[in-house]
Amino acid sequence: MILGPKRSVLVVDRSEETREVLRTALERRGLRTLAASRARRGLELARQHRPDLIVLDIESEGTNSEETYARFARQSLKNGTALLMLGHLRPSEASLGGEEFIAKPYHFGPLIRRIEELVEATGQTLARCA
Amino acid sequence: MPSLFVIRGNDQGTRFELAGEIVGVGRDSSNLVQLHDTEASRQHAEIRHAEGSYVIADLNSSNGTFVNGRKVEEHRLASGDQVQIGGTLMLFTRPAEETGEDLTDQISIASDRQTGDESHIIHSLSHAEGSRIFRPEADIPQNSWLARARSNLQVMYRTALAVSHTLDIEQLLHRIMDLIFEWVEADRGCIMLAGAAGESLEPKVRRTRKGVRTGQKITISKTILDYVIQRNEGVLTSDAREDNRWQSGASILQMGIREAICVPMQGRYDMVGVIYIDTSTSPQEVIQKGGATKFTQDHLKLMIAIAHQAALAVEDTRYYSAMVQAERLAAVGQTIATLSHHIKNILQGIRGGSYLIEMGLTEHDESVVSKGWKIVEKNQNKISALVMDMLTFSKEREPELAPANLNQVVSDVVELIESHAADMEVELRWEPAEEMPELVFDPEGIHRAVLNVVTNGIDAACECEKAGRVDVATRYAPDEGKALVVVSDNGPGIPPERLDSLFSPFVSFKSGRGTGLGLPVSQKILTEHGGRILVESTPGEGSRFTLELPAVMPDSARQTIVR
């Protein structure tokens, strides 16, 4: 594994508790975390900091979920960022592909392992590109 | 929007809105109208919308498409049509077509003075008097045809009244039977109904004329019944047949004559049952009356008309109860969905907290353990709040009145929710009334009521793109005898169509974050205090909730108790 700048994960979740748990757990694993409670702020952070992975709670976006999803999907395509969604889209909303969904309620153990794997994978892609 | 409402089948209670030019109907999930019915084909039929009309077309389905009981290839749907696909029966409805003109322009209700209309009431008749319209007047000579026609009209009028007064099928059928017995000299009668799903006929009402032996079983000839059901025609039968075999009349003299009328109850869509009456004439009566029968063609015609009226009423009642049942099921479903969503979020929090505790224990890091414990505790409080809300909502309770200060109660709420507001990036401003005397109310109840309304305001405020803000203020209005708590937010506002269901339990518009209990509970608490909640909302600008509490002074409360 090449040494580079610290890997980062952006957590966009309305629940302060979830952000807190993910931040504590991920930082202990040597990842930098950014967090936002609202999608709007989350997008700003994604543009500014280009994290390796975005974890987005799509379910609590409710009626805006489709639009929010589309914005994040575009942003992550542009930056080559992996996207992990918590919750699910309604069946009528088509997925753009490439992102992962984890249904709620989830267990934190497997979620954090998956986050690590995804960050690892983007790291390798970047290394190959370089 | 036109819709198909499932009144029978696995999807009972579902309403499919027919949006789009072509709407697929079938078992496959690609259909907008997806039926969970094994007798339906994957792509069974489609509904095409063109130039204001809706046409259902069968797509070579295995079991066919039926409209109002008839198999169709293509059929233009009208409101009220019943569409059957496999074991699923659906009702097609569409809003009345716009005529393009506003009738209110053409018809107006105005006071007499404005229009100069000199009309005045010269005679009035109460609703109950209506049937007397058909009563013969004593001084006018009667011709027998006219008398009969008038009496028939009166019977029909009373049938119409009888069916319009009840939604209870049994009661309705008893009324119909009473009417028939008043008007025709029948000895025995019964009404048989087919079940709502078209099962075999079952007797529902049985009536015997006074003086006729009651223990006797009514035997209806199967031949007659089959004839009525299959041909959908009413019949008048008599065993005094005027055919060749009827030579001597000897058996009439021995047995008397038995006559019967059996008519189908034909409704809008189906035959819902039959009405049967019969009478026996003894040999002596036959001789006295010279062989005249008791039942005539007129009786038959009128019976058919009565049965039709009754059938329409039975059908209406059935649809009504199917609708009520379906709505009830939908409400239960909504309740469960909202509650489980909320509980799921709490569970998620508890899992997060437990994860941190476990991590902290493994790594011997007490700070992580305590972080995790705080989260678990917070979620315990959430569950307890949910249970309190459910209890408050479910039982009638008396507020526990005590002298308290409204400013203090609201201030506690603001303090409690401040961190949540900050978390949601909503600015929370609190402006207590300068003058607020100690009043008598249930401090715990009002705390809960205010908390729910403020939480709601914060949730609304963070729905908007702009910076969220919630203002909480109290006011004391001694002239009106009220104390007020005003909570305003700058959220998206409440669309007018949602205002009605704002205080209905388990209806949450907060995309699953609410329990659907907050506002209903607040309203209930205020109502228990003799107060109320007023809502003003401007879509796009925000909403204002005003909690009005009657200002009861501690002294006057004590006096009331002493008295």
Q: Give the closest residue to B28 by CA, choosing from B70, B61, B72, B69.
A: B61
Q: What residues of B are in contact with residue A21 (Cβ under 8 Å)? A: 352-353, 355-356, 372, 375
- Rounded to whole angstroms, how far apart are CA atoms B300 and B174? 19
Q: What residues of A are in contact with residue B352 (Cβ under 8 Å)? A: 17-18, 20-21, 108
Distance from CA of B348 to the nearest CA of A (A): 6
Place A130 in a pLDDT band, splitting at 50, 70 and 90: very low
A38, B363: Cβ pair inside 8 Å? no
pLDDT greater at residue A119 or residue A97: A119
Say which residues have a Cβ less than 8 Å from residue B12's Cβ, sequence separation at least 6. B6, B322, B326, B329
Tell me if the bond preceding B283 is cis, omega within 30° of 0: no
pLDDT digits (tens, 9 = 90+) for B66-94: 998 889 999 998 877 889 998 888 888 87
- Rounded to whole angstroms, how far apart are CA atoms B16 and B507? 20
DSSP state for residue B97 in the 8-state scheme: P
Output the pLDDT for position B285: 73
**B71-80, B100-109, B349-358, B541-550: the lowest-pLDDT one:** B100-109
* pLDDT at B165 exceeding the cut of 70: yes
pLDDT greater at residue B405 or residue B516: B405
Of B344, B359, B465, the CB nearest to A40: B465
- Rounded to whole angstroms, how far apart are CA atoms B366 and B470? 37
Output the pLDDT for position B245: 38
Largest CA distance in chain A: 43
Average pLDDT, chain B: 81
Output the pLDDT for position B370: 94
**A100-114, B331-345, B526-540: the lowest-pLDDT one:** B331-345
- Rounded to whole angstroms, how far apart are CA atoms B83 and B4? 8
Does residue A50 form part of some domain?
yes
Distance from CA of A128 to the nearest CA of B (A): 34
Q: Give the closest residue to B555 by CA, choosing from B543, B547, B545, B563.
A: B563
User: What was the ipTM of the complex prediction?
Assistant: 0.86
**B276-285, B413-422, B507-516: the lowest-pLDDT one:** B507-516
DSSP state for residue B18 in the 8-state scheme: -
Distance from CA of B351 to the nearest CA of A (A): 7
Does residue A3 form part of some domain?
no
Output the pLDDT for position B561: 43
Does residue A1 form part of some domain?
no
**B339-343, B352-356, B507-511: the lowest-pLDDT one:** B507-511
Size of interface A-B (CB pairs under 8 A): 67
Distance from CA of A122 to the nearest CA of B (A): 26
Range of the domain at A50: 8-129
Q: What percent of chain B has pLDDT over 90?
A: 22
Q: Is A17 on the interface with B (CB under 8 A)?
A: yes
Q: What residues of A are in contact with residue B368 (Cβ under 8 Å)? A: 24
pLDDT digits (tens, 9 = 90+) for B225-240: 888 888 888 888 877 5
Does residue A77 form part of some domain?
yes
Of A24, A41, A63, the CB nearest to B371: A24
Q: What residues of A are in contact with residue B348 (Cβ under 8 Å)? A: 15, 17-18, 104-106
pLDDT greater at residue B155 or residue B361: B361
Contact B69, B269 (CB under 8 A): yes
Distance from CA of A88 to the nearest CA of B (A): 13
Place B138 in a pLDDT band, splitting at 50, 70 and 90: low
Output the pLDDT for position B355: 95
A15, B349: Cβ pair inside 8 Å? yes
Which chain B residue is nearest to residue A112, measuring alpha carbons?
Answer: B355
Q: Looking at residue A23, which CATH number applies to its domain? A: 3.40.50.2300
* pLDDT at B310 exceeding the cut of 70: yes
**B85-94, B145-154, B309-318, B464-473: the lowest-pLDDT one:** B145-154
pLDDT greater at residue B126 or residue B242: B126
Which chain A residue is nearest to residue B375, measuring alpha carbons?
Answer: A17
Place A71 in a pLDDT band, splitting at 50, 70 and 90: confident
Contact A27, A33 (CB under 8 A): yes
Does residue A120 form part of some domain?
yes
Instruction: Count how many domains chain A has.
Output: 1
The stretch B412-435 carries a mean pLDDT of 88
**A107-116, B4-13, B69-78, B550-559: the lowest-pLDDT one:** B550-559
* pLDDT at B127 exceeding the cut of 70: no
Does residue A2 form part of some domain?
no
